[in-house]
Amino acid sequence: MTNDFSLLKQVVERLHTGVKYGKGQMVDQVLGAAEIAKTAGNPELEALALLHKSQEKKRISETQKPLTDDEIILLVDRALGEGKGAKVVDALKYMKTEPEDNDKAREQEMQLAWAAAAPELVKQMLMVEKIVNFETSLRVLEALRDDPKLDGVKPPEWHKNYYITRWEMVEVALKDASPELYDRAYRAGKEGTELASKLMPPERESWVERFKKDPSIAVGVYLD
């Protein structure tokens, strides 16, 4: 693995440059960041860049707020075991930390710590991304359930496009970089796509009414 803090900094900066969740914009920006890592021969960093982008930029609508640290800890602990969530939160904070220009010893320490933590963090982020997608779906359903003015509306278009975008992003950028990670991401993406399909009821029945009758269309998959 390349111990290059400047490379990590480039990727993180690229991923945090005001990208909206428009399909083309998102894919272009993510693939651009992935190309930086791929050029340096570091597929694991490439994979992490892609997954971190999806995890960190969770504002997929004007009313959707990113998950808090406590929410991430709860979700990851539930899926991976107690104590894992705090490690993921710490790693996400670490990715935003930059050493002082004159602190070369600290920079080297961060490089070594990053190199040691990256492989496991990639695996954890795959699981986190899967869980967070289900959490997002649940929140959308709850918002519709609790707002009588929205009764009968169809699932928002961005919800469906979000899954499609992730699918294409994983397909293009991860397949060649890391077959193992691609397979795992493929399975997570497939489950997300299947969940999105379950959230699209027949025209004859209100989406909210269906959720009231069978909340497991979101919660059951999300909790598994």
Q: pLDDT per residue over 55-104, tens digit each? A: 444 434 333 455 567 766 776 666 556 776 776 676 556 544 454 555 66
Q: In this model, does residue 131 exceed pLDDT 70?
A: no
Compute φ and ψ for 101, nearest 5 degrees. -55, -35
Tell me how far CA of residue 97 lies from CA of 45, 90, 111, 115, 146, in angstroms: 16, 11, 12, 15, 39
Q: Which two tokens stand for residue 39?
A: 């050029």
Mean of pLDDT values over 118-133 = 48
Q: What is the pLDDT of residue 50?
A: 58
Q: What is the pLDDT of residue 62?
A: 37
Q: What is the pLDDT of residue 83?
A: 78
Is residue 206 a contact partner of residue 152, using CB atoms and an 8 Å limit? yes
Q: How many domains does the chain have?
A: 1
Residue 83 is part of which domain span? 5-223
The per-residue pLDDT of the chain, averaged, comes to 53
Is residue 87 a contact partner of residue 124, using CB atoms and an 8 Å limit? yes
Is residue 46 a contact partner of residue 4, using CB atoms and an 8 Å limit? no
* 1-15, 58-72, 149-163: segment of lowest average pLDDT: 149-163
> What 8-state DSSP symbol labels residue 60?
-
- Smallest CA-to-CA distance from 176 within 58, 69, 31 is with 31
Q: What is the pLDDT of residue 24?
A: 46
Q: What is the pLDDT of residue 220?
A: 31
Find the angle CA(193)-CA(51)-CA(65) to the nearest 5 degrees: 75
> What 8-state DSSP symbol labels residue 154?
P
Q: What is the pLDDT of residue 1?
A: 39
Mean of pLDDT values over 146-155 = 49
Mean of pLDDT values over 43-65 = 50
pLDDT band at 224, cuts 50/70/90? Answer: very low
Amino acid at 188: A
97-106 in b/e form (b: 16+ CB < 10 A) is eebeeeeeee
Highest mean pLDDT among 75-84, 164-173, 211-220: 75-84
